[in-house]
Amino acid sequence: MPKVTVDGQELDVPDGATVLQACELAGKEIPRFCYHERLSIAGNCRMCLVEVKPGPPKPQASCALPAAEGQQIRTDTPMVKKAREGVMEFLLINHPLDCPICDQGGECDLQDQSVAYGRGASRYHEHKRAVTSKNMGPLIKTIMTRCIHCTRCVRFSEEVAGVDEIGALYRGENMQITTYLEQAAKHELSANVIDLCPVGALTSRPYAYEARPWELKKTMSIDVSDAVGANIRIDSRGREVLRALPRINDDVNEEWISDKARYQVDGLTRRRLDKVWIRKAGKLQASSWNEAFELIAAAKPGKDIAAVAGDMVDCETMFAARKLLNALGSNLVESRQTGMNYDVSNLAAVNFNTGFAEIENADAVLIVGSHVRWEAALLNVRLRKAAKSGAKIFLVGPEWETTYPAEFIGADVSVLHDLPAHVAEAMSKAERPAVILGGAALAKGALHPALALAAEWNLVRDGWNGFNVLHFSAARMGSLMLGFAQKGGMADIAAAKPKVVLSLGADEMDLEPFADALKVYIGHHGDKGAHGAEIILPAAAFTEKSGTYVNTEGRVQLADKAVFAPGDAREDWTILRALADALGVSVGFDSFEQLRAQMIAEVPALGHEAVADYGALPKADMSVKASGAMSYPIKDFYMTNPIARASAVMQQCSAELLHGEALPEAAE
Amino acid sequence: MGILSKIFTWWDGATIGTSLWSSRNGKHVGTDAQGNRYFRSKKPDARGRERRWVIYAGANDASRVPAEWHGWLHHSYDDLPESHLPPPKIWEVDYTPNATGTLSAYRPKGALEQGGKRARATGDYEAWTPDA
């Protein structure tokens, strides 16, 4: 713990801290462009100059200077002020003064810092350098003349994303940032470089010229495109969501989000269900709420009613649906719409117990049946960190391109019963071993064999629980906590032959077994579920309602309502409440607050914004044998949910980045 | 223009009285590009000033007087426009009267008269239909 003095204030800083971090601890703001907490130190922008004694009698770059015992650091001397002004002047030599037409305007580090630390006026009259813009794909728009060569984007793709896509050509003033051979940036986290870019060189292409940051209403929300539950900020203007940005949460998403989370939001304005539809004589026709409710009441469901929850619904909606069904005397609720029927009697066995932050410390990881890059791109970042600090990673399942050294040991799940000796040895000798079970493995019945391995390798030990199940639907853990599961999965629901099936945005379910039932789709997008329904009741998307979501770690998180649902669409719980009246039963809540209070009374864990405690792992049932070749449930990263499928940006990404179609682009 | 409408209407050109008065007391001094005819009185009026007036070819709308004749009508200058103003440049556009209240009036984007079509605005969404 070195003791340093910052502007006369003495303080202890952690070992290995830099002078910049010491100044931050002392509450001094140090301007910077290239330095970023989550990236390696480059030290090439020179904006963080401070005066340090002992040392040479000149300003020093604080980001790259280790804090040492007895250092006298000054951030407020005339020398520092002059140095900052000088650096800023050099940076502005080649930076165009096009702030009025730049999308970064208003949230630009260069703009802010030149106001705070720059000279009042320019002394520069010569010509400025111009650089051709580079193609970085459908998501990243480049205006490379604005680039100040901080290399944050290069370091991000190399260090965090783990792909060598972005790099620099030439030297000095002629340096240019580009993608390799100007190909599109293709990985799942590519758009994070837009947030990292301190100037307007890399900006968001779908959001280009849409809005200024000060016009936007900011709403704290949770991403529902996968089960990571990344913390996002929804920026909206009027009734439209314009963009989604990551919020910092070191336990979940650090400060990244996947491209799907960021760019699927334009799907919220397309294919929207905004009125009630009823199928008459085989054809869906626009209708009214009353008619729809009368029709459902006329079906006299009694206790022959089932509810299937989709992948993006919030806990409140599911709770309201279950309340309605219970009031009618039914408990036919299910959320695993694709027909999986793994054992959910103990939720600890189907939870990501290690936690995203902790999995970085694992030293041996066995991933069974999960395409982590696509199912949880942010978890892949954590696994890469683990691999970089020496973890051995083994995978079972069809091969995919990992961003870290890893060994595929077979595509058939039966390999779990007969692991190669070196894998078994690495796992049993590891100090912090972890097993990650994906959806493909659960579908082949690998849960109990994996639990057996957990017992064998002693995955649960002091301060460490290495048994993990990685889900990929945002609603999954919440639905399981609310009891949205049958023993036999969807097959049980089909066997009960319900008269009415309520589909809460369930677009992946197989409708064939329910051919005779009255299928009521309560959702927000016209997708597969709506096409197969008899009655469509328009509901709110995740940005249009407050809700509780539980991510795959069992972390309970709250999302706020950003905008109103379009047209006649209503928040889901109000639809279910009105339906209860139409069916002549009482569900016991009249407001959202009452609904939430009842839900928390029943499942107390949903009342705390924290990781839920599911207790100890169950004993493995040794008689269960898993077998069969696994195949990943996600075939196309950009097309996994109805919002993304409706989104023009996601469709373009899918066509261009995954299927290699060269799309004609308008000349700029 | 038939003789009947000349007798019973007043909104197009001159009435019979004005025409008669113009032919007896006025001197036709010129015609503009739209066919409006300009007159001045043969004798000065009671204050010793000559009177100047216009008989429109078509609707009696004061905004149909082009700029050059407007100056002459209002005694800004006494010479006739063609004799004292420089010849019009080839890039000058023809004079157009005020279009307010007519079919050719300006309609903003999204006005009902434009067919109700407007540019995309924030908050617009594309609704789903079963045929889609």
List chain A domain ranges. Answer: 3-93, 116-267, 277-342+477-541+554-602, 353-469
Least Cα distance to A7 among A36, A50, A56 occurs for A50
Q: Which of A235, A236, A237, A230 is nearest to A259 (CA)?
A: A230
Closest-CA residue of chain B to A524: B128
CB contacts of B132 in chain A (<8 Å) are 271, 526
Helical segments of A532-661, H only: 572-582, 592-602, 642-646, 648-653
> Would you tell me which residues 274-293 of chain A have a C-beta closer than 8 angstroms to some C-beta of chain B?
274-275, 277, 283-284
Domain extent listing, chain B: 3-106
CA A637/CA A649 separation, integer angstroms: 13
Supply B76's token pair: 């800004």
Binned at pLDDT 50, 70 and 90, residue A115 comes out as very high
The predicted model gives A234-240 an average pLDDT of 94
- Please give, rounded to a whole number of angstroms, the shortest distance from the CA of A535 to a CA of chain B: 12
Q: Given B124, B129, B130, which is nearest A269 (Cβ)?
A: B124
Lowest mean pLDDT of B1-5, B7-11, B30-34, B108-112, name the range: B1-5
Element spanning A469, H or E: strand A467-469
pLDDT over 80 at A584, yes or no: yes
Listed by number, the residues of chain A in 208-227 with a beta carbon closer than 8 Å to a beta carbon of chain B are 211
Asked if omega into A498 is within 30° of 0 (cis), the reply is no
Contacts with A531 from chain B: Cβ below 8 Å:
130
Q: What is d(CA A650, CA A265) in angstroms, rounded to the nearest whole number? A: 9
A531–B127 C-beta distance less than 8 A: no
State the DSSP H helix or E strand holding residue B52, giving kind and residue range, or none if neither: strand B52-55
Given this model, what pLDDT does residue A663 score? Answer: 55
CATH topology of domain A277-342+477-541+554-602: Rossmann fold (3.40.50)
**Percentage of the residues of chain A whose pLDDT score is greater than 70:** 99
Q: Which residues contact A11 (CB under 8 A, 6 or more apart)?
A: A3, A4, A5, A22, A25, A26
- Please report residues of B whose CB lies closer than 8 A to that of A240: 122-125
CB atoms B128 and A274 under 8 Å: yes
Q: What is the pLDDT of residues A595-647, one digit of tens each?
A: 999 999 999 999 999 999 999 999 998 888 899 999 999 999 999 999 999 99
Residue A182 is classified by DSSP as: G
* Interface residue A525 vs chain B (CB under 8 A): yes
Residues 6+ apart with CB under 8 A from A574: none
pLDDT at B1: 55
Residues forming beta bridges with residue A231, ordered by sequence position? A222
Neighbours of A262 (CB within 10 A): 28
Rounded Cα gap, residues A483 and A323, in angstroms:
11
A528 — contact with chain B (CB < 8 Å)?
Answer: no
Global model pTM greater than 0.95: no
Q: What is the pLDDT of residue A544?
A: 96
Cα distance between residue A279 and residue A283, in whole Å: 5
Q: Please, which pLDDT band fits residue B6 given cuts at 50, 70 and 90?
A: confident
Most A-contacting residue of B124, B126, B128, B131 (CB-CB within 10 A), to test interface: B128
pLDDT tier, A667 (very low <50, low <70, confident <90, very high otherwise): very low
What whole-number distance in Å separates Cα of residue A255 and Cα of residue A378?
10
Q: Which residues of A touch B120 (CB under 8 A)?
A: none
Mutate to test the interface with A, among B125, B129, B131 (most CBs of A within 10 A): B125
Nearest to B125 among A272, A277, A283 (CB): A272
Q: Which tokens sit at A668?
A: 């700029």
- Partners of A284 on chain B (C-beta within 8 Å) are 130
Can you tell me the mean pLDDT for A119-145? 93
How far off is chain A from B116, nearest CA to CA, in Å?
19
**A323-360 tens-digit pLDDT:** 999 999 999 999 999 989 999 999 999 999 999 999 99
A3-93: which CATH topology? Answer: Ubiquitin-like (UB roll) (3.10.20)
CA angle A517, A518, A519 (to 5 degrees): 100
Looking at A491-495, A657-661, B46-50, which range is the least confident one?
A657-661
To which residue do tokens 């999960």 refer? A370
Distances (CA, A) of A410 to A413, A629, A630: 8, 9, 10
For residue A647, give the chain B residue with the closest CA.
B126
Closest residue by Cα to residue A320 from A307, A337, A339: A307
- A478 at B interface, C-beta within 8 A: no
| pLDDT value of position B102 | 86
Work out the pLDDT band at B3, boundaries 50, 70, 90: confident
How far is A546 from A552, CA to CA, in rounded Å?
Answer: 20
- pLDDT one-digit tens code per residue, B39-71: 999 999 888 889 999 999 989 999 999 999 999
Which of the two residues, A53 and B1, has the higher pLDDT score?
A53
Residues 6+ apart with CB under 8 A from A151: A34, A42, A44, A168, A177
Using the Cβ of A273 and the Cβ atoms of chain B, whether some distance falls under 8 Å is answered with yes
> Percent helix, strand, coil in chain A (nearest 5)?
35, 20, 45
Instruction: Quote the pLDDT of residue A71.
Output: 94
Say which residues have a Cβ less than 8 Å from residue A10's Cβ, sequence separation at least 6.
Answer: A3, A4
- pLDDT tens string A8-39: 999 999 999 999 999 999 999 999 999 999 99
Closest CB to B123: pick one of A239, A270, A526: A239
Instruction: Find which of A243, A265, A270, A535 to mutate to test the B interface (most B CBs within 10 Å of its CB).
Output: A270
Q: Distance between CA B56 and CA A269 in Å, rounded?
A: 55
> Quick check: B128 and A530 CB within 8 A?
yes
Identify the CATH assignment for A116-267 out of 3.30.200.20, 3.10.520.10, 3.30.70.20, 3.90.1010.10: 3.30.70.20
Mutate to test the interface with B, among A209, A243, A274 (most CBs of B within 10 A): A274
Domain A353-469 CATH superfamily? Dimethylsulfoxide Reductase, domain 2 (3.40.228.10)
pLDDT band at A668 (very low <50, low <70, confident <90, very high): very low
C-alpha–C-alpha distance, residues A251 and A554, integer Å? 12
When CB atoms are compared, the residue of A237, A274, A284 closest to B127 is A274
